Structure 1
Amino acid sequence: MDSPFWGIIPGKASLPLGQITLPVQFDTAKHFCVDYVNFLIADFNMVYHAILGRQALAKFMAVLHYTYLVLKMPREQGVLSLRTNLDVGYNCEKKSFMLAKATDISICMQYFITTSQLISLEDLETPTMEAARASTKYKEVKEVALVPSDQSKTARIRAGLEPK
């Protein structure tokens, strides 16, 4: 029980809280199958009540067809087929993704609120604008006229550079 669940809620992982063994019955009283299955308990807010993993499917020798949402397993009376309504399955997936998105947003919001509370009030203050500094990199500069006839249009260049 040390390994986390992945892929149940997109982008999220969760460690199991514990496990429980329950009897599972498939189909009706006339044509059914009962066996005990170990379920891992997880703290997921989602539309599924239970998820049968590879171990449960192997235990029942079940084959799952995802496209048609049919679970088939061999029984003494023949093949037991469990079907679902495609519309219900689609709506279930939509709700699951909406829950995952809401969970992701609420977790991110909680992270940002917690992080912002750790920042001191001094760091949250808006800095005042400083005056532009004069370049101190080159101490020797000379002024060059950009337009020879107008001395008001000049530029400062390093003293070692040629005017052109």
Structure 2
Amino acid sequence: MDGGSDLNILYINTLNAMRIPQSKLRLAGSPFHRVISRAQAYPLGQIDLAIMFDNQANYRLEVLTFEVVDFPGSYHAILGRPYYAKFMAIPNYTYLKLKMLGPNDVITMSSAFSHTFMCNREHYELTTTVVNSFKLPRLEESSIPAVLDCNKLTFLMAFHSLEETKVVGNDPTDPTKTVQIGTQLSTK
């Protein structure tokens, strides 16, 4: 679970383990960032999957849209803010609990600290290996789908200020701490 993610992500290995053919994926043309450090990634596609929590006596079932990605991950999937909104789930990261309303009672999902530590460590090692390896440049090149218009791709990948900016110090005791502001801003 990742309350900071705007996406629900499903890794291709998980999709294959579920025996869902890749032909079930819909096109997804938007790139996303910060899943792999310093890399922009494109999903292979999107898929809607029914997700159920708890058991037959007290359960929640909702359909979530996942971005399916073809790069290594230490998780099966990442559930982001769309998941929290759809299930109206409330995470407690301190106690590693996730709560949501079920038809008969509150559903509580939890994990052991040792298991969470192991997953976080594995994810850190995998990310570090990918970032430091020669795979990252190839990943960036191979993740751009051929169907995208190059003009749209340039627009998506670049940030251009609409006006001139100037550097302004924001800490009088440290001249290295600066921000850039627009030169056309009003005095207010």
Scaled by the length of structure 2, the TM-score of the pair is 0.53
The residue aligned with 1:31 is 58
Please state how far the C-alpha of 1:101 moved relative to its aligned partner: 1.1
More strand by share: 1
The residue type paired with residue 83 of structure 1 is: S
Higher relative contact order (CA 8 A, sep 6+): 2
Change in 2 beyond 3 A, CA 1:2/1:64: farther
Given candidates 52, 60, 68, the residue that maps to 1:41 is 68
Match of 1:4 in 2: 31
* Partner SS state of residue 45, structure 1: coil
Match of 1:74 among 101, 113, 116: 101
* Deviation by residue 1:24-81 (Cα, 9 ceiling, x = unmatched): 1111222211111111111231111111111121011111122222111112212111
Q: Gapped runs of 5+ residues in structure 2?
A: 1-27, 139-188
The answer (yes or no) to whether the contact 1:14–1:43 under 8 Å persists in 2 is no
Rounded to whole Å, the distance in 2 between the matches of 1:11 and 1:70 is: 31
**Residue 14 in 1 paired to residue 67 in 2?**
no
1-structure distance, mates of 2:136, 2:33: 22
* CA distance in structure 2 between the partners assigned to 1:32 and 1:76 by the alignment: 7
Q: How far does residue 16 in structure 1 lie from its aligned partner after superposition?
A: 1.6
Cα distance between partner residues in 2 of 1:52 and 1:28 = 19
Q: How many residues align?
A: 111
Q: How do residues 82-93 of structure 1 correspond to structure 2 at under 5 angstroms?
A: 82-93=109-120
Distance 1:60 1:110 in 2: 37
Q: CA RMSD in A?
A: 2.1
**Runs ≥4 in structure 1, deviation > 4 angstroms?**
108-111
